[in-house]
């Protein structure tokens, strides 16, 4: 039976900005020097973030959605192109080898879409299939990767998943709303591409499971407004995640004869420090288990759908994995929705 494997991961990042500088030189004045807001920025677990437009030079908070989409159109294609080429180079493949390109993004829309733009700039074969995954939010990478893996196993051709998010384009007009301040303190831009191949690679994509609690749908939303896309991020999100994460993870592992202590590495989307603390507590993980997630959050912020793939890349670069070692990737977002993917080291 043909199986799908992650062969390589490549990330492209725009210019970096220190969290302390963003607070002192931009957000502090916009938030009236609020000490409470300053504490939120300081405790977000973020040291630096990346943004395609320098927030210290241009405040996008009053821009219209149309203006923000023009920024997206200008910056998304070059950043995505760089990430895909990086991943393909690491995998030893050429763009013409790719049978399918899937692009996940919830921070910008255009037609022809980013998938078409990249097919042209990369020089994909004219018959290469394309798929756009939009508006799923931070968990989009995992259902998208499951779909890419299905393509690879059926068609026995390599495929690429690109998760590209330019969240900084959607900074909102400043208010003292705590939820908005948390969003301003966490989110950043990134593009991460994953090459998935039949039979050969570093991690086999084994299975993916999902759990959605629609009774909490208002806890996390992503709404198109006249001034960009506005996030609602309730302080109760970690509590809801805590109710479901153990059952979701243990159910997927049990289907494959595994238990939580047998998992060698955890790629958990770092939605924020409380999220990581909740996952660690509910699963009974040692403090070291989530260090890759904490590092990605510290160095890059929350880059929405790209983030969990960045954590996987960090694990591949820093963790000794033996053949057969189980690895779990986990991400969550609007719904509230939790996705869990089981992988095995090769």
| pLDDT tens per residue, range 13-48 | 999 999 999 999 999 998 999 999 999 999 999 999
Give the pLDDT confidence score for residue 331 in this predicted structure.
Answer: 97
For the cut 80, the answer to whether the pLDDT of residue 1 exceeds it is no
Asked, colleague to colleague, whether 4-198 and 203-345 share their fold, the answer is yes
Q: In whole angstroms, what is the distance from residue 225 CA to residue 233 CA?
A: 16
Average pLDDT, stretch 173-187? 89
Q: By mean pLDDT, which of 154-168, 218-232, 244-258, 309-323 is the weakest?
A: 218-232
Give the pLDDT confidence score for residue 242 in this predicted structure.
Answer: 86
CA distances from 61 to 25, 184, 185, 281, 324 (A): 15, 11, 14, 37, 48
Cis peptide before 112 (omega within 30 of 0): yes
Residue with tokens 């302390």: 20
For the cut 90, the answer to whether the pLDDT of residue 205 exceeds it is yes
Q: Annotated catalytic sites, by residue?
A: 138
Average pLDDT, stretch 180-186? 92
According to CATH, the superfamily of the domain at 4-198 is Thiolase/Chalcone synthase (3.40.47.10)
Q: What pLDDT digit, counting tens, does each position of 53-109 carry?
A: 999 999 999 999 999 999 999 999 999 999 999 999 999 999 999 999 999 999 999
Give the pLDDT confidence score for residue 244 in this predicted structure.
Answer: 92
Residue 250: how many other CB atoms lie within 10 Å: 15
Q: What pLDDT digit, counting tens, does each position of 274-317 carry?
A: 999 999 999 999 989 999 999 999 999 999 999 999 999 999 99
Give the pLDDT confidence score for residue 177 in this predicted structure.
Answer: 85
Secondary structure element (H or E) that encloses residue 237, with its range: helix 237-255
Q: What pLDDT digit, counting tens, does each position of 230-285 carry?
A: 888 888 888 888 889 999 999 999 999 999 999 999 999 999 999 999 999 999 99
By C-alpha distance, which of 340, 342, 334 is closest to 213?
Answer: 334
CA distances from 270 to 36, 231, 253, 304, 326 (A): 22, 17, 21, 9, 20
Q: What's the pLDDT band for 199 if we cut at 50, 70, 90?
A: confident
Q: Any idea what the Cα angle at residue 197 is, between residues 192 and 198, rounded to 5°?
A: 155
Helices and strands (H and E) in the chain: how many: 11, 13
Give the pLDDT confidence score for residue 22 in this predicted structure.
Answer: 95
Give the pLDDT confidence score for residue 234 in this predicted structure.
Answer: 82
Q: What is the mean pLDDT of the chain?
A: 95
Domains of the chain, by residue range, sit at 4-198, 203-345
Which tokens belong to 196? 């998935």
User: Per 3-state DSSP, what percentage of the chain is helix, strand, and coil (rounded to 5)?
Assistant: 45, 25, 30
Angle, helices 307-318 vs 141-155, to 10°: value is 70
Give the pLDDT confidence score for residue 241 in this predicted structure.
Answer: 87
Q: In whole angstroms, what is the distance from residue 275 CA to residue 245 CA?
A: 11
Q: Any idea what the Cα angle at residue 315 is, between residues 211 and 14, rounded to 5°?
A: 90
Q: In whole angstroms, what is the distance from residue 141 CA to residue 330 CA?
A: 10
Q: Is 9 exposed, middle or buried (0-12, 13-18, 19+ CB in 10 A)?
A: buried
Whole-number CA gyration radius for the chain: 19
pTM of the predicted model as reported, rounded to 2 decimal places: 0.96
Which of the following CATH numbers is that of domain 203-345: 3.40.50.150, 3.40.50.300, 3.40.47.10, 3.10.450.350? 3.40.47.10
For the cut 90, the answer to whether the pLDDT of residue 222 exceeds it is no
Average pLDDT, stretch 319-334? 95
């Amino acid at each position: 039976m043909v199986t799908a494997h992650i062969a390589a991961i490549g990330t492209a990042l725009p210019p970096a900005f220190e969290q302390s500088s963003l607070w002192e030189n931009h957000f502090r004045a916009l938030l009236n020097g609020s000490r409470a807001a300053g504490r939120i920025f300081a405790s977000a677990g973020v040291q630096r973030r990346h943004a395609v437009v320098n927030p210290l030079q241009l405040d996008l908070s009053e821009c219209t959605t149309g203006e923000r989409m023009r920024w997206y159109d200008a910056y998304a294609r070059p950043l995505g192109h760089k990430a895909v080429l990086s991943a393909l180079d690491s995998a030893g493949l050429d763009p013409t080898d790719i049978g399918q390109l899937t692009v996940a993004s919830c921070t910008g829309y255009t037609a022809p879409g980013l998938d078409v733009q990249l097919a042209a700039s990369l020089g994909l074969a004219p018959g290469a299939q394309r798929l756009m995954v939009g508006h799923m939010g931070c968990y989009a990478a995992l259902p998208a990767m499951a779909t890419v893996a299905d393509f690879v196993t059926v068609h026995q051709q390599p495929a690429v998943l690109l998760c590209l998010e330019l969240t900084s384009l959607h900074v909102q007009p400043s208010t003292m709303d705590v939820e908005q301040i948390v969003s301003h303190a966490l989110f950043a831009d990134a593009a991460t591409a994953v090459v998935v191949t039949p039979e050969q690679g570093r991690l086999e994509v084994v299975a993916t499971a999902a759990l959605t609690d629609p009774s909490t749908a208002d806890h996390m939303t992503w709404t198109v407004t006249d001034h960009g896309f506005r996030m609602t991020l309730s302080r109760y999100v970690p509590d809801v995640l805590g109710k479901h994460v153990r059952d979701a993870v243990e159910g997927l592992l049990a289907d494959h004869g595994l238990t939580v202590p047998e998992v060698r590495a955890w790629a958990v989307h770092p939605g924020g420090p409380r999220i990581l603390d909740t996952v660690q507590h509910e699963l009974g993980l040692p403090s070291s288990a989530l260090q890759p997630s904490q590092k990605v959050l510290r160095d890059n912020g929350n880059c929405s759908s790209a983030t969990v793939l960045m954590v996987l890349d960090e694990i591949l670069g820093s963790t000794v994995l033996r053949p057969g070692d189980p690895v779990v990737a986990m991400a969550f977002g609007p719904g509230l929705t939790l996705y869990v993917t089981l992988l095995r080291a090769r």
